Structure 1
Amino acid sequence: MNRERSRDLYDRALSVLAGGVNSSVRATQPYPAFAERGDGAHLIDADGNRYIDYVMGYGPLLLGHDLPESVRAAVQSHMSAGPMYGAPTEVEVELAEFVARHVPSVEMLRFVNSGTEATVSAVRLARGYTGRDKVVVMQGGYHGAQESTLVEGSPDAPRPSSPGIPQSFAAETIPVPFNDTETLESVFEAHEGEIAAVLTEPLLGNTASVLPVEGYHERLRELCDDHGALLVFDEVMTGFRVGGLQCAQGKFDVEPDLTTFAKIIGGGLPAGAVGGPAEIVESFTPAGDVFQSGTFSGHPMAMAAGLETLRYAAENDVYDHVNRLGEKLRSGITDIVDERAPGYTVLGTESMFKLVFTRGGSEGVGDSCRAGCRQEPDCARFERCPKTGADVANAETERWDRLFRPAMRDRGVLLTANQMESQFVSDAHTEEDVEETLEAYKAYFE
C-alpha cells in the first residue's frame, strides 16, 4: 500500500501538533494513516487505501460511518437553526427522557461534552454527596484524562501514572485489581468511612474487554451498600453497545448508583453524561451544592445525533445484527488461533472483540468460551485467561503492536492502536466483511 501522503501529513503535523496528534492513542508506528473519509464499515485514508474499520472512532460509531438519513437530517436541522445558544433546548430533554426510560438505574442526567468530563463530574458528585474523599479504581481501567484516576500502583502505594499529577491527589485514589473482591474487602476495612465511590468499567473495555467473573459486580454492590459508598459504572464505552439500550448494567443485572456515558450517546459528536437517581444527581448545581457547568454541555447537534442514533438502533434491529457479527468474529478468530496459536486468547462480548497475545499454555477453549472468554470456571483455560489489567499488560504487547497490527493493516483490516484497546463492530459491517477479516487473520497465522 502506498502511504506517502499520510507520511507527509504526519511530518507536517509533527511541526505544529504535540507528537503529531491530538490524542495519544492515534500515534501508531511508524506513523498513523490519516483519515480522508468513511464509507459504511470502511475507512479510506489520505492515500486512497481502503480498510475494513474496526476502530469505529474508538466506539462511538454504532451505525458506521454513513449515518442514516434521520440522524443526518436532525443534525443538519439544528445546525441550520443556529449552532448553539447557551440556553436549554427541547432535544436535550428528549435525549434525557430516552436514556432514563431505558437504563435501569437512571432517573436524571447531567449532560457534558466527553467521557473524561463525565467521569470528572461523577467523581466530584460522589465526593460531594458522601462527604468523603477517597475513590477506588481498577488497575488497568481507564476513566479519561483526569487527575483522580490517572493513578497506578497498589492500594498501599498509589502513585500518579503521569507527570503533572501531584502525589497528594494520588493519595486519595486506591487502585485495586479487577475481579479481585478480597482485595476490595480489605480496602474497605482499612479505610472504613473514607471511601466515596468505587469506580469501574463493567468490563475492562480499555484493557481488551476483560469480562467480570461470576458474582464480581454483585459483590461490589454489596460492599458499597454495606459501607455507604457509591458504585459508579463507567459506561462511556459499553453504554448503548453492550446490553443494548439497557447498557452493560442491564446485561449484568446490577444497578450502580451513578453511570457515566459518552461515545454512542453523542452519535459520533462530542457528548457525555452522568446519570443516576434524582436524589444523587440533584446534588449538582443549581439544584444542589456540587458545582458543575459547561458552555457546550447539551450541545443541540450532539443531542440530536445521539437521540436519533439511539432511536434508529431501537427501531431497526441494530443490536441483533452487530452482536451476531461480533460473535461470528470471536468464534472465527478462536478457531484460527486454537489451531495455529493456542496460547492466545479471544476476549470481548456482543459487538466488542479483541485477540490478546497471551503467553504460555496450550489448553483448548471450552465450548462455553468459543465466542470469546466468558470467565467460565469449568473452562480448561480459566486459571490463565486474563482477569486483570496486569494480565493483559503482561501479554506479548510488542508483538501485537509492531508485527500483528501492521500486517493486518497491509491486508486491509484496520484495528485499534495497541493490544489494550477494544475493537468494535458496527451496523454497517456485513457478513462479507467478517469473512474477509477472518481470512486476513488466517493468513497472518499461516
Structure 2
Amino acid sequence: MNLESSRDLYDRALSVLPGGVNSPVRASYPYPAFIERGDGAHVIDADGNRYIDYVAGYGPVLLGHSLPDRVIAAIQSQVSDGPMYGAPTEVEVELAEFITRHVPSIEMVRFVNSGTEATTAAVRLARGYTGRDKVVIMQGGYHGAQESTLIEGDQHEAAPSSPGVPAEFAANTIPVPFNDEGAVEAVFEDHGSEIAAVLTEPLLGNQGIVMPQPGYHETLRELTREHGALLIFDEVMTGFRVGGLGCAQSHFGIEPDLTTLAKVIGGGFPIGAIGGRTEIMESLTPAGDVFEAGTFSGHPVTMTAGLETLRYAAEENVYEHLSDLGEQLRSGLVDIVADQAPAYTVTGIDSMFKVIFTRDGPAQTGACSAGCRQDPDCPHSQACPKNAGDVNAAATDRWERVFYHQMREQGVLLTPNQFESEFLTAAHTAEDIEETLEAYKAVL
C-alpha cells in the first residue's frame, strides 16, 4: 500500500502543528493516513487508497460522507444567507424543539460549540445550582479537555492527569471505578453533602466500549436524589446514536438531571449542548447567574446541518438500518473471535462496536451473541471488561502497533487505538459488513 503522500504531509505537518496533528488521537504510529475526501461509507486518502470507514469523524458522521440531497440543499441555502449573525435565529429554536421533543429528560437546551464546552458548562451549572463543589467521575471516562475531569486516581488520592491542570481541581474531583456500586456508595457516605454531581457516560466510549452492569445507573440515580446531587449523563458520543432519538438514557431507562450532547446533533459541524430540567437550566445566564456564553454558539449553519440530519434520521428509518447492521457486524465478530481469538471480547451496541484484546479469558462459547451485555450468566462474563482498568490491561500495544495497520492494508479504517469506539453510518451496507468481517478474519 502506497502511503508516500501521507508520509510527506505528516513530515510537513510536524513543522507547523504540535505532533503533526490537531488532536492527539489522530497521531497513529508511524504516521496517520491523511484523508482527501469521503464517499458514502468510504474515505480516500492522499495516496488514493480507499477504505471502508468506521472512524466516522469519531462519531458525528451519522449519515455517511455523501449527505442526502435535502440535507446538502438546506446547508447550502443557509450558507447563501450568510454564515453567522451573532443574533438568534429560528433554526436554533427548531433544533432545540426537536431535541426536547425526543429526549425524555431534556426540557431546555443551551447550545455551545464542542463536547468539551458542553461538559465544562454542565459541571459549572451543577456547582452553581447546588452550591457545592465536588464532582464524582468515572475512572477512564472522557469528558473533553477540561480541568475538572482531567483527573486520575481514586476516591482516596486524586491528581491531575495532565501538566497544566492545577492540583486544586483534583481536590474537588472524585474518580471511582465504573460499575463499582460499593465505591460510589462509599464516596457519598463520606462526602454526600459536598457533592454537586455525578458525571458519567452511559457507557464508557473511550475505553473500547464498556457497558454498564445491570442496576449500576439505577444506583447512581438513587444516590444523587437521596443526597441532593445532580446526575449528569455525558451523551456527547452516545447521543442520537445509542437508543435512537431518545438517546442512551431512553435505552437504559434512566432520566438524568442534565445531559451533554455534541457530535451527531451538528451533522458533522462543530457543536455541543447542555440540556436538562427547566428549573436547573434557568440557572444559566441570562435567566440566572451561572455564566455561560460563546460567540459561535447556535451557529446557524451548524444548527441547520444538525436539524436536517436528525429529521432525515427520524423519517428514513436510519436507526433501524444501523441497528440491523450493528447486529450483523458484532454477531459476525463474535463468531470470528470465538474461532480465532477466544480470549478477546466483542463489545458495542446499536451503531457502535469494538473488539477489545482482553487476555486470558475463557472460550467465547455461549458469549453474548452481538456484543457484551454484562450478562452475569454469560460464560465469558468474568473476562468482559467492567471498567477502564480492565481495558488498560488488554493487549493495547498489539492493536496500535500491528492490528490497526494490518486492517488498513485490508482496506478497513478503524480508530487507531484500543480505546476509541468504532462507528457505523447509514451509508454502510451489508456488503461492507461482509467485506469487513473478511478483513477481521484475515488479520486476527
TM-score range, shorter chain: over 0.9
Residues 103-141 of structure 1 deviation map (CA, whole Å, 9 limit, x = unaligned): 000000000000000000000000000000000000010
Equivalent-residue separation in structure 2 for 1:12 and 1:73 (angstroms): 36
Superimposed CA distance per residue, residues 227-280 of structure 1 (whole angstroms, 9 cap, x where no aligned partner): 100000000000000000000000001000000000001000001100001100
Looking at structure 2, the residues matched to 250 and 297 of structure 1 have their Cα atoms a distance apart, in angstroms, of 27
Do the aligned partners of 1:209 and 1:347 also contact (CA within 8 Å) in 2?
yes
1:133–1:172: 8 Å Cα contact kept in structure 2?
A: yes
Counterpart residue identity of residue 262, structure 1: A
Give 3-state SS (helix, strand or coil) of 2:260's partner. strand
Instruction: Report what 2:76 is aligned to.
Output: 76
Partner of 2:94: 94
The one-letter code of the counterpart of 1:150 is: L
Q: How does 1:236-275 map to 2 (within 5 A)?
A: 236-275=236-275
1:323, distance to aligned residue in structure 2 (A): 1.1
Question: What does residue 184 of structure 1 align with?
Answer: 184
* Aligned counterparts of 1:267 and 1:214: Cα–Cα separation in 2: 32
**CA distance in structure 1 between the aligned counterparts of 2:184 and 2:247, rounded to whole angstroms:** 25
**AA partner of residue 170 (structure 1):** A
- Cα deviation, 1:74-108, whole Å, max 9, x if unaligned, reads 11111111110100000000000000000000000
CA distance in 1 between partners of 2:324 and 2:203 (Å): 19
Using the TM superposition, give the Cα deviation of residue 325 of structure 1 relative to its aligned residue in structure 2, in angstroms.
0.7
2:371 match = 372
Match of 2:358 in 1: 358
Q: Distance in 2 between matches of 1:417 and 1:112?
A: 28
Aligned ranges 1:235-314 → 2 under 5 Å = 235-314=235-314
Aligned-partner Cα distance in 1 for 2:3–2:436: 21
SS of 1:207's equivalent? coil
What is the identity percentage for the equivalent residue pairs of Structure 1 and Structure 2? 71
* Counterpart Cα distance in 1 of 2:110 and 2:193: 27
In structure 1, the partner of 2:141 is 141
> How far 1:365 sits from its partner (Å)?
4.1
Q: Which residue of 2 aligns with 1:35?
A: 35
Aligned CA-pair RMSD: 0.7
Q: 1:362 deviation in Å? A: 2.5
Determine the structure 1 residue equivalent to 2:402: 403
Match of 1:127 in 2: 127
Separation in 1, partners of 2:31, 2:353: 24
> Which structure 2 residue ranges, 5 or more long, are not aligned?
none
Map 1:5-20; keep pairs closer than 5 Å.
Answer: 5-20=5-20
Alpha-carbon distance, 1:179 to partner: 0.4
State the alpha-carbon separation in 1 of the partners of residues 7 and 232 from structure 2: 42
Whichever residue aligns with residue 317 of structure 1, its letter is N
Counterpart code for 1:387: K
Residue of structure 1 equivalent to 2:418: 419
Task: State the Cα distance separating 1:370 from its structure 2 match.
Answer: 1.3
**Structure 1 residue 192: Cα displacement:** 2.4
Does the CA contact (< 8 Å) of 1:342 and 1:364 recur in 2? yes
The answer on whether the counterparts of 1:365 and 1:379 sit within 8 Å (CA) in structure 2 is no
Off by >4 Å, runs of 4+ in structure 1: none
Rounded Cα–Cα distance in structure 2 between residues aligned with 1:206 and 1:266: 20
Measure, in 2, the Cα distance between the counterparts of 1:228 and 1:306.
34
Query: Distance between the aligned counterparts of 2:222 and 2:366, measured in 1?
Result: 31
CA distance in 2, matches of 1:87, 1:285: 16
Structure 1's unaligned 5+ residue stretches are none
Deviation at 1:384, TM superposition (A): 2.0
The letter for the 2-side match of 1:288 is G
Q: Which position in structure 1 is the counterpart of 2:168? A: 168
1:202-240 deviations in whole A, cap 9, x for unaligned? 000111111101011111100000010000000000000
- Partners in 1 of 2:217 and 2:408 — Cα distance? 37
Counterpart contact for 1:111–1:298, Cα < 8 Å = yes
Match of 1:218 in 2: 218
Partner of 2:381: 382
Distance 2:430 2:363 in 1: 30
SS of 1:348's equivalent? strand
Which residue in 2 is equivalent to 1:2?
2
Residue-pair matches, total: 444
TM-score of the superposed pair, with normalisation by structure 2: 0.99
Q: Match of 2:400, as an amino acid? A: D
3-state secondary structure, aligned to 1:273: strand
Equivalent residues of 2:134, 2:173 under 8 A apart = yes
Q: CA deviation at 1:360?
A: 0.1
SS at match of 1:383: coil
The answer as to whether partners of 2:343 and 2:364 remain within 8 angstroms in 1 is no
Q: Which amino acid aligns with 2:169?
A: F
- Measured in 1, the distance between the counterparts of 2:373 and 2:155 equals 27
Distance in 1, matches of 2:283 and 2:68, equals: 37
Q: Which residue of 2 aligns with 1:441?
A: 440
Q: 1:323 — aligned with what?
A: 323
The whole-number CA distance in structure 1 between the counterparts of 2:372 and 2:430 is 22
